[in-house]
Amino acid sequence: MNDAAVPWLTPDEQHAWRSFVRLNERLEGRLARRLQTESKLSAADYAVLVNLTDVGDGRQRYQDLARELEWEKSRMSHHIARMAGRGLVVREDCPDDGRGAYVVITAAGQAAIETAAPRHVTAVRELFLDHVTPAELRLLAEMSERIVQRMDEDPR
């Protein structure tokens, strides 16, 4: 694509985009620091544990978890190995697929997420929810869901 064909951002679009990026980076950074300080979990640990507790039996196939988190296969393998080393999860072979495997939350992982979640929710409220109106929150949810749906339809 040559430079003349690039649909450059208008000043309003650029302002909105950069504001959104700054918000996302700051929010993620501060939430991650609080998680680490208060719960000894990284943001990645928390994301894995939340996904595992969202499914009834606390187990999810590696590939499904990686897809949900938007992680590459190697990142998933390395991170799950580190979490397994700390006793938060275990890897179990998939009985109906010799190449597949499950990530399964352990009792220690369950205890860690139960300790971290209330603190994390408090931080989300303090840093984000307390600063938006209910109408803004509904609009943000609608926009986010629409954009995620579009990305899911075309996963490039």
- Gap between the Cα atoms of 117 and 109, Å rounded: 12
Side by side, which strands form the sheet with 97-105?
59-61, 97-105, 89-94
In a domain, 84, yes or no: yes
* pLDDT tens for the 156 residues of the chain, in order: 567 789 999 999 999 999 999 999 999 999 999 999 999 999 999 999 999 999 989 999 999 999 999 999 999 999 999 999 999 999 998 887 767 899 999 999 999 999 999 999 999 999 999 999 999 999 999 999 999 999 989 877
The whole domain housing 100 covers: 23-153
For residue 125, what pLDDT is reported? 98
Instruction: Answer whether residue 12 is part of any domain.
Output: no
Number of domains in the chain: 1
pTM to 2 decimal places: 0.89
